Each structure stands twice: as structure tokens, then as C-alpha cells.
Amino acid sequence: MIYLDNAATTKTAPEVVDAMLPYFSEYYGNASTIYSLGAESKTAMDHARQTIADSLGAKPEEIYFTAGGSESDNWALKATAEAYASKGKHIITTKIEHHAILHTCEYLEKRGFEITYLNVDRDGLISLDELKAAIRPDTILISVMFANNEIGTIEPIAEIGEIAKEHGVLFHTDAVQAYAQVPINVDEMHIDMLSASGHKLNGPKGIGFLYIRKGVKIRSFVHGGAQERSRRAGTENIPGIVGLGAAVERAMRIMDTKTRKESELRDYLIGRLENEIPHCWLNGHRTKRLPNNINFSFLFIEGESMLIMLDMKGICASSGSACTSGSLDPSHVLLAIGLKHEEAHGSLRLTLSEESTKEEMDIVAEEVKKIVQRLRDMSPLYEDFLKSQKNN
């Protein structure tokens, strides 16, 4: 099997599993208790919180554990909206956000909030001038994803943070795809809130965190206990938290070598696909993109058919976000960057890991070439295109 869908989820690293195991059956105490068994759990949780804080240049008391990226996104938007409604009811985001943001914005719109959805260019980048023009006296929050989960484009986060700070507006970033892939410093980038998820960085599923800068007036998201400084009640998922901490330690340790390797393999496969398959193109910014992300559109084919045929060859890939892979609608991200419906339907996303190899890239390139040609041979649209080319 060649697994190239790491944007959807990653394999939990063996050392992460090893770190978690004792907290299921040996150190199983509740972290809120005062006896030593519970203290073991609390110590482990505090260590993970410190590790995550250090990775962002944050303070440990600014890290709040959640069930994952979607919960963190929901918390950042809903609780901010509630806390700052007296100041204003205007929020700015983009048209290419993850649905955890977009659907939460739709929820808030039904409750009287006004949302401005920024456009992006063909590469998926927002315009800083458009952002500045969108800010109003009643704007309370700007939420722009750090890097897009489909096309891999990395937004100008530090510049967005600077603009938000200048205008006294809170800035949240969904960093689910970017965290532990690229360096992030919340102070240098003026980030007030940041969402992340464990299973995107070789950690376990069902655990994530929300960074909330000290002083941000954000409401509690889950009521019922004093956990997470009374902002997110519920007995802490200690095995998950330990696993997340171990995954972050590992990710920080290998980031430089991982980034270098993935970027080289990414560019190698992009080059092969571009040079060897006609009527296709790369989606997303060529250089301002995640080191492991490749997203292509192929004319005259359906992405779903390509995925099935790749799977038959033992290659795991995607045609977009994992959260919408069951949908027949074209990707909202690809439409936002200007693709037509039929162009968006023929997309393929390949996301690498540090275990990916050049040999695998060659296998994938050869299989994609064969599959694209086979699908085009069955396509009446491609047949019509070839006839029109001959007539011209």
C-alpha cells in the first residue's frame, strides 16, 4: 500500500502509542483527584501542555485541550461571538475555510451575526487590501486558516495578524494542517487563537487543542466542571493528551528533515505529472504551500473514478477534504480559486509523509498516467475535444 492521504489523517507513530499505553491501565487515575494515582495523570497532562506551549512560543495556561480541530474551530468562533457581541456582530473569514469554520459561520449568521467571506486568487491567497477594506468598527474577529487542507496554500498569517492587531480585532487561525508542518510563533504572528488536531501529526484521533491568548475574553464552551480552567468541562482524555504531547515532541524534533524530504518528493512528483500528462495543472501556490501537499486537476475525467482505480492499485489518495469526500458536489475550495465545475470534479489530492519515497512517487506517477489515459479513452468529452483539435 502507498498511503498518500496524510491530510485526511496520519498513522499514529509507534513512540506515541508507547507513550499512551500506560495511561490506559497503569496510570488511569482521574487528573482532578488529589491522591497519587490521579497526580500521575495530572503531571503527564501538564507536561503535554508545556510541550505544546513551547512549540508555539505560548504559555501553558493558554493551551486548552479539546476533542480535535472541529471542536476548537467551533469554540473559537461561537464563544468569541458570544463574548464580544456587545462590541459588534461582524466576523471576517475566507471562502476556502474548512467546513468547521464555514458551517459555524452559517450558524452564527442565523443568530444575527454578519460574515464577510474574503475572495482568494487563483493560487488560493487572500488579498491583504481586501482584508483591510472589510474591517469595520463592529468587526470582532478575523478567522483565516493557516494553510488550506485541499490545495496546500499557506496564507500570509503574520501580515494578517499585524492588520488585526492594528485594528484591535481578534485573530483566529485554523492551523490543523499547518501545525507541526511549518514553524509557528503566536507572538511573532499576532495570533490570538489557534486550532490544532492530534491525528494530523502522527498523534491519536479524538484529541486537539485551542490556543487562547491570555486576556482574550472568551466564554466557556462546555459547562459542568472545573477542567481546563472551567472553560471546557469533562474528565480529561489523559491517554489522548499524552499521545498529543508525544506527537508534538516528535514533530518538532523531525520538522526540518521532514520538511526538506517531503518538499523534494512533492516537487519531483509535481514535475513528473506536469511534464508527462497533458491537459492538467497544479492547484494552489507553487512555493507558498505545505511541504507535503500536491493537488492537480485533470481535464476530461472524474476524480472519483480515479480514486477507485488508484485504490485498486493499492494507492490511497483523495479528491479533496476528507470531510466532504462522500459528497458529489465539487470542492468549494477549487470553485473559489476560479475552476469551473467540470474542472473541479477532476481533481486529485496527494499528501505525503516522512515515510514516502522516490520509488513510491515514480509508481504513483506511472499509475496516474495510465489511469488518466484510460478514463479519457472512455470519455465522450475527450473524444469531442480531440476531434475539435484535428479540425483546427
Task: Let me know if 316 is a catalytic residue.
Answer: no
List phi, psi (to 5°) of 92: -115, 130
- 121 is written with which cell numbers? 486568487
8 A C-beta contact, residue 42 and residue 65: no
In the block, which residue shows the cell 510541550? 51
DSSP state of 60: G
- 233 is written with which cell numbers? 468541562
* Nearest alpha-carbon partner for 301 in 280, 326, 282: 280
8 A C-beta contact, residue 266 and residue 293: yes
Beta bridge partners of 94: 118
For strand 293-298 and strand 347-351, is the pairing parallel, antiparallel, or unpaired?
antiparallel
Half-sphere exposure of 382 (CA within 13 A, CB side): 17
* Nearest alpha-carbon partner for 143 in 194, 83, 109, 107: 194
8 A C-beta contact, residue 332 and residue 95: yes
Cα–chain-centroid distance for residue 201? Answer: 11
8 A C-beta contact, residue 352 and residue 6: yes
Beta bridge partners of 2: 315
List phi, psi (to 5°) of 28: -95, 5
8 A C-beta contact, residue 219 and residue 185: no
3-state secondary structure of 71: helix
CA dihedral 102, 103, 108, 110 (to 10 degrees): 120
Half-sphere exposure of 336 (CA within 13 A, CB side): 21
For 103, left (φ over 0), alpha (ψ -120 to 50), or beta? alpha
- Active-site positions read 323
